[in-house]
Amino acid sequence: MADQSAPIGIFDSGIGGLTVAAAIHQLLPHENLIYVGDTAHFPYGDKSAGLIEQYGIGIAQYLLERKCKMIVIACNTASAYAFKAVQAVAGKDFPVVNVIDPAAEAIAKQFPQGKIGLIATRGTVSSGIYPRKIKKQAPKAEVTSLATPLLAPMIEEGFFNNKISRTIIHSYLEKKSLQGIEAIILGCTHYPLIRPEIESFYKGSITVFDSAELVAQKVQNELRHSNLLSEGDEAKMEFYVSDYTESFAASAGYFFPEKVELKKLDLW
């Protein structure tokens, strides 16, 4: 059985998963965290399923070597294509949390017969995983998906809450396929950074779902169920990137105002 003080391992292709890490840290401030941003392979959204699975296995093996007690796949595309492979590497009894299941469960519960919009990377949309999981729980729900490939690179480069980001966001949200929706899923962990702009576009007329807080609650429940909640005082956080980027350093400092020391991780 894992040590309660063992860290939670979290990974994403870039800065997006920091939204999940921050939500976990806020809810569970005593948990030690190890975050891996696979910036060398960003974005995952336009990679093949086989490559994404390969990246996920490599990072999972590193986190297991670091004696993590749980792995959180803080990326929708990796959750869609690498979850089963990561679970197989970790073992069937090892807790692995993805970002899709908690969101799909919440949406199916709140809008069992609603018209739901999904914006995500090409990879996540192509997987069809959100409509499949939502409709399994809410057969009468209608899910309309729109690939928004410019958003994650835009956010990764620090373009949000400005004229450029608003123009791109509006051009996507004005698409005919998203008209008449009652809720929208931010199907990429980068997208909570532009949530205020999305909410401004809809002026409160629809419900906006991002998975960060839902995943944090899932992590808390899983750890409590396994009797693995940390009882330590001060959490330690480690941040690794496969390629150093200024935007990642700036974003890590934004989410974690305490001094963040980025370390290069040579997995590949």
Active-site residue numbers? Answer: 75, 188
- Chain centroid to CA 43: how far? 13
Look at strands 115-120 and 183-187 and give their pairing.
parallel
Cis amide linkage into residue 43, ω under 30° from 0: yes
Find all residues with CB under 8 Å of 240, minimum gap 6, and list them: 34, 35, 36, 37, 262, 263, 264, 265
Strands, DSSP E only, in the chain? 8-12, 33-37, 70-73, 96-98, 115-120, 142-147, 183-187, 207-209, 237-241, 262-264
* Dist. CA 206–CA 147, nearest whole Å: 19
Contact yes or no for 113/66 (Cβ under 8 A): no
Count Cβ atoms below 10 Å from residue 162 Cβ, excluding itself. 10
Q: Are 153 and 160 in contact (CB under 8 A)?
A: no
Q: For 122-143, b where at least 16 C-beta lie within 10 A, e where not — what string?
A: ebbbbbebbbebbbeebeebbb
Cα–Cα distance between 84 and 95 in angstroms, integer?
12
Is 235 strand, coil or helix?
A: coil
- 3-class secondary-structure state, position 183: strand
Instruction: Give backbone dihedrals phi and psi of 218, rounded to 5 degrees, phi first.
Output: -65, -45
